[in-house]
Amino acid sequence: MSAMIEQVTGPRESRARELIRRFGARLTVARVRVLAELLDAESALTHIELQKRVEAGAEPIDRVTLYRVLEWLEETGVVHRVAGPDRVFHFAARQVRRPHGHFRCVQCARMYCIEEPGTLARSVRALLPTGFSGEEIEVTVSGRCARCASP
């Protein structure tokens, strides 16, 4: 492992390295930094938001590399993406593997995963016609997040 990757340190970077290793993938500074930002984020981030965060580092990550890293992270299942109403993708570290919904704040435009214990999947399955089998669920609730809703 290169000394450069070891210089990207901290608890979130350690967790990012651990997740990347779990997939048997090559560790790169870009992968570690992008995943660390997503693990640290309180809501899903757009490509532009991620770009601003990684540009703040000692070694900026170019736009193309960021797209490639996000694509790889999504393909491996480490992160997932959800499209907002403006068709801009938001990326989040996959904290939950089962189907779940999302909440989009209409005021600050943040996107949050709604972590619930399978209620959404059971509800949708109950709505499906006999013989149908759902494979993927996309539900987004729009409203105001706790921060924006408080007076």
CATH number at residue 8: 1.10.10.10
Give this prediction's pTM. 0.71
- The pLDDT assigned to 84 comes to 82
- 113: domain CATH number is 3.30.1490
Whole-number mean pLDDT of the chain? 83
Co-location of 35 and 86 in the same domain? yes
**Residue 77 and residue 14 in one domain:** yes
| Owning domain of residue 128 | 101-149
Indicate if the pLDDT at residue 58 is higher than 70: no
Give the per-residue pLDDT at 3: 44
Does residue 53 sit in the same domain as residue 114?
no
What is the Cα–Cα distance from 113 to 43, expressed in whole angstroms? 7
Per-residue pLDDT at 24: 80
Q: Are residues 84 and 118 in the same domain?
A: no
- Number of domains composing the chain: 2
Tell whether the model's pLDDT for residue 10 goes beyond 70: yes
**Do 106 and 89 lie in a common domain?**
no
* Mean pLDDT value of segment 111-138: 78
Minimal CA–CA distance to 47: which of 89, 82, 85?
Answer: 89
Residue 144: Cβ within 10 Å count? 13
